[in-house]
Amino acid sequence: QKEVEQNSGPLSVPEGAIASLNCTYSDRGSQSFFWYRQYSGKSPELIMSIYSNGDKEDGRFTAQLNKASQYVSLLIRDSQPSDSATYLCAVNMMMDSNYQLIWGAGTKLIIKP
Amino acid sequence: SQTIHQWPATLVQPVGSPLSLECTVEGTSNPNLYWYRQAAGRGLQLLFYSVGIGQISSEVPQNLSASRPQDRQFILSSKKLLLSDSGFYLCAWTGSRLASNNEQFFGPGTRLTVL
């Protein structure tokens, strides 16, 4: 069974603090990992992609990948109320000779002013 | 740049009525196209994907069907809606299903309520 696991939350973080979101996956052979942000009532929006072990930074966002431990995380620095959303982790896994995105259920993040 | 459209944005339908949701992509050719459903407060459930015209793969057996009559058009249909079909329907595209690093991009979605 190929799975992606996320804590559903809600995760409550004070404004200005660092929000840390975690995701684990079951397929050791996965090569591509994505974080999407979904505001209530809206469609998911890609915010970070990561393909290699280590950190990848983009503005206030840092994605961290550890393939040996099969987890990927997203750090949001200087959290803003506008960061309040559900964050979806997605992992590309080989399924029936094709790659398919397997989705976590999402973590709801609340930034408290 | 690529753009993906979905319509209608919202829909309220009685149980047993038919359904047709449309998705079109602009600015790319030969996209892989996907239909997802998201129930309230839940994750994404892949319903169908298509790698080309007339090629449809079903991930979840149910009373829904999909068609791809043109390269950049993907349609989700039902002959008779059930209450359990309510949800947020999302269309997505990506460049190639065979590549391991392709990101998916979503349309604005259709919120369907079946009464």
For residue range A7-58, list pLDDT tens digits in order.
989 999 999 999 999 999 998 888 899 999 999 999 999 999 999 999 999 9
| Residue A44 with chain B: CB contacts under 8 Å | 44, 90, 106
Q: What is the distance between the alpha carbons of residues A102 and A29, in angstroms, rounded to a whole number? A: 13
Q: What is the distance between the alpha carbons of residues B22 and A112, in angstroms, rounded to a whole number? A: 38
Task: Count interface pairs A-B at CB distance under 8 A.
Answer: 50
Q: What is the pLDDT of residue B95?
A: 76
Mean pLDDT of A77-105: 91
| Residue A46 with chain B: CB contacts under 8 Å | 103-105
Asked if A99 and B105 come within 8 Å (Cβ–Cβ), the reply is no
A32 in B contact zone (CB under 8 Å): yes
Longest Cα pair distance anywhere in chain B, in angstroms?
A: 41
How many residues does this entry show for chain A?
113
Residue written as token pair 């990927």: A72
For residue range B79-111, list pLDDT tens digits in order.
999 999 999 999 999 876 555 567 899 999 999
A52 in B contact zone (CB under 8 Å): no
Q: What is the distance between the alpha carbons of residues A6 and B52, in angstroms, rounded to a whole number? A: 32
A92 in B contact zone (CB under 8 Å): yes
* Nearest CA distance, B57 vs chain A (angstrom): 12
Q: What is the pLDDT of residue B98?
A: 56
* Nearest CA distance, A49 vs chain B (angstrom): 8
Q: What is the distance between the alpha carbons of residues A58 and A104, in angstroms, rounded to a whole number? A: 22
Instruction: Please list, residue by residue across B75-102, b when 16 or more beta carbons sit within 10 angstroms of its beta carbon and e when fewer do.
Output: bbebeebeeebbbbbbbbbbbebeeeeb
Asked if B101 and A49 come within 8 Å (Cβ–Cβ), the reply is yes
The residue ranges of DSSP E strands in A1-113, in sequence order, are 4-5, 11-14, 19-25, 32-38, 45-50, 54-58, 61-66, 71-76, 85-95, 98-103, 107-112
| Residue B104 with chain A: CB contacts under 8 Å | 34, 46, 90, 101
For residue range A57-84, list pLDDT tens digits in order.
999 999 999 999 999 999 999 999 999 9
Q: Which one of B43-47, B61-65, B96-100 scores highest in mean pLDDT?
A: B43-47
Where does the pLDDT of residue B61 fall: very low under 50, low under 70, confident under 90, or very high at 90 and above?
Answer: low
Q: Name the interface residues of B facing A (CB cutoff 8 Å).
A: 42-44, 46, 49, 90, 97-109, 111
Q: Please, which residues have CB within 8 angstroms of residue A97's CB and are 6 or more apart in sequence?
A: none
Asked if B103 and A44 come within 8 Å (Cβ–Cβ), the reply is no
